[in-house]
Amino acid sequence: MRTFRCIVLLALFLWACSASCHAARHALLVAVWDYEGTGHPSLEGPPNDVRLMQEILVERFGFEEEDIVVLRNAQATRTALEAAFASLAERVRPGDFVYIHYSGHGSTTADLDGDEPSGFDQTWVSHGSRKHGKDSGNPDDFDVLDDELDRWLRPLYARTDRIVLVSDSCHSATASRGETSRVRAISADVRPHPLGKTRSSDASAATGVRIGAVRDDQKAVERETDEGKVYGVFTWHWARALREASPDETWDDVFKRA
C-alpha cells in the first residue's frame, strides 16, 4: 500500500500550523461508524475521534470552527468523499496547512492495476459500501481504494506540502476475520472494484505527512476509556501526543511518542 504506512514520509515542523502562522488552515475529518446492512459490525469510536480532533485543532493549533469540515456516516459516501477532497483542493493556497483524518473500518480488495506487490489494494470502507450485490457497478457500493485517495490528494500536493493525513483504520482484513466490533477491519471485498484498473500516478513524488494507525498486516482497534467513552486507540494517543507537542519537534517526533 502506498498511500498510508506506519511511518512519517516527510517531517514538517509543527510551527507550520501553529497559532502564530499566517497561512490558512483547512481540516477534513471523516467518521464512519454505521455499517448496518453490510453484514459487518458497526463501530463506536469514530464520532468521538473526530470530536477529539476538532478540539485539538482549535485549542492547540489555532483552527477556527469554520476551517474544519466534518463528514459523518451518510455524508461520507465514496462520491461525497471525492467531492470533499475536490472542494478542499479549490480552497487551498500555496503554503496553507491541511489536516485530514479518517476513522472507520479499513479493508482490502484485489489489486487490478498491478501496482501492489501484495496483490491487494487497501481501502477505506466508506458509508454505503458493501450494501449491494456482486453485480453492482455503482462505485458508491464499493470501498475507497488507496489509488483513488492518491488521485484525490494530487491537486492538494500541487498547492502545498503542508499536508498531514491520518488514517485510524485497519489496513488488512486477512488478520481480523471473526473479531469483535472493537476491531476496525472487515473482510476483504472479493468483488472486482469498478475503478480498480484505473492507474494512479507515481506516489513517490508526493510530499506531506502520511500516517496509518497500523501496518498493512495489523489491526486497528478501539477501546473504552475510564470515563466510558470509546475512541480509536491510535487517535486517542495521537491527540495526547499533539497536545504535548512543542514547536521544535517534527511530525516524526510526535508520531513516535504516540
**Residues identified as active-site:** 105, 170
Burial of 80 (0-12, 13-18, 19+ CB in 10 A): middle
Report the residue count for the chain: 258
Half-sphere exposure of residue 141, counting CA atoms within 13 Å on the CB side? 13
Q: What is the dihedral of CA 234, 239, 245, 249, to 10 degrees?
A: 40
φ, ψ at 98 (rounded to 5°): -125, 130
- Which H or E run includes 31? strand 25-31
- With contact defined as beta carbons under 8 Å apart, do 184 and 222 qualify? yes
SS3 of residue 204 by DSSP: helix
d(CA 115, CA 99): 27
Q: What is the DSSP letter of 73?
A: G
